[in-house]
């Protein structure tokens, strides 16, 4: 048997420390990847849980609104889409006017009690939004300069009517959007009538700050 020479031992000696360092690095990378995967899974689980909770809250909110406004909803005098109560403009106002029609006044009076009850159960505000079609105002008895002013005045009129009917004044505000945010193309008289509307939207108080 031939004993290994000093040169052979010198050549073989460094292999094991290098191999050990390599394995330690690989193990470290594995641990880092494992920790990252766990953290990612936890974040994903939390995100999904948050989305599910928000969806449940929105579903419950929509159900509450549908129950509270079952009467006018069944009569077709209002719509509820994504938690927003919509009222056709021709129910509330004549063309280019912000004066309430008798039917509109009666409808708003009927909506006040359910809105007041809803606000008593939710820490929210009511935003009244006015919208018009895209046709310029040509002949307005009140002298409105444009659709921005008309939509704002209509929203204010609805707000005042609801407050007069019992909705707390500190829980409601108005906004005019003019011809912005149409729900249908302004290409037919029927579609333009859809865009002339007022929306009543419950929103969280913190979203209004």
CATH label of the domain that carries residue 100: 3.30.1330.60
Check whether residue 38 and residue 106 sit in a common domain.
no
Kindly state whether residue 8 falls inside one of the protein's structural domains: no
- pLDDT of 125 reads 95
Q: Is 37 exposed, middle or buried (0-12, 13-18, 19+ CB in 10 A)?
A: exposed
pLDDT tens digits, residue range 134-180? 998 876 556 788 999 999 999 999 999 999 999 999 999 999 999 99
- pLDDT of 119 reads 92
- pLDDT of 3 reads 53
Q: 6: pLDDT confidence band, cut at 50, 70 and 90? A: low
Structural domain range at position 24:
13-53
Query: Is the model's pLDDT at 87 over the cut of 80?
Result: yes
Query: Is the model's pLDDT at 201 over the cut of 90?
Result: yes
Check whether residue 124 and residue 192 sit in a common domain.
yes
Check whether residue 118 and residue 145 sit in a common domain.
yes
Percent of the chain with pLDDT over 90: 46
Q: For residue 91, give the H/E element and its range.
A: helix 89-92
Report field, pTM of the whole predicted structure over 0.75: no
Residue 204: φ, ψ to 5°? -60, 145
Kindly state whether residue 64 falls inside one of the protein's structural domains: no
- pLDDT of 55 reads 61
Percent of the chain with pLDDT over 70: 81
Kindly state whether residue 47 falls inside one of the protein's structural domains: yes
């Amino acid at each position: 048997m031939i004993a290994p020479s000093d040169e052979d031992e010198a050549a073989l000696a460094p292999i094991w420390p290098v191999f050990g360092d390599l394995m330690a690095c690989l193990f470290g990378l594995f641990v880092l990847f494992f920790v990252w995967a766990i953290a990612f899974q936890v974040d994903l689980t939390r995100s999904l849980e948050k989305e599910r909770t928000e969806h449940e809250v929105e579903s419950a909110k929509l159900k509450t609104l549908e129950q509270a406004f079952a009467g006018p909803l069944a009569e077709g005098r209002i719509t509820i889409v994504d938690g927003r109560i919509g009222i056709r403009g021709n129910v509330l106002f004549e063309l280019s006017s912000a004066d309430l029609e008798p039917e509109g006044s009666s409808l708003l009076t009927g909506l006040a009690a359910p809105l007041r009850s809803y606000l008593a159960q939710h820490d929210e505000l009511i935003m009244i939004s006015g919208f018009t079609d895209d046709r310029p105002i040509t002949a307005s008895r009140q002298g409105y300069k444009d659709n921005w002013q008309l939509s704002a005045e209509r929203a204010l009129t609805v707000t005042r009517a609801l407050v007069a009917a019992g909705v707390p004044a500190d829980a409601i505000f108005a906004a005019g959007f003019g011809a912005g945010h149409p729900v249908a193309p302004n290409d037919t008289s029927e579609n333009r009538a859809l865009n002339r509307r007022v929306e009543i939207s419950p929103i969280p108080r913190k979203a209004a700050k």
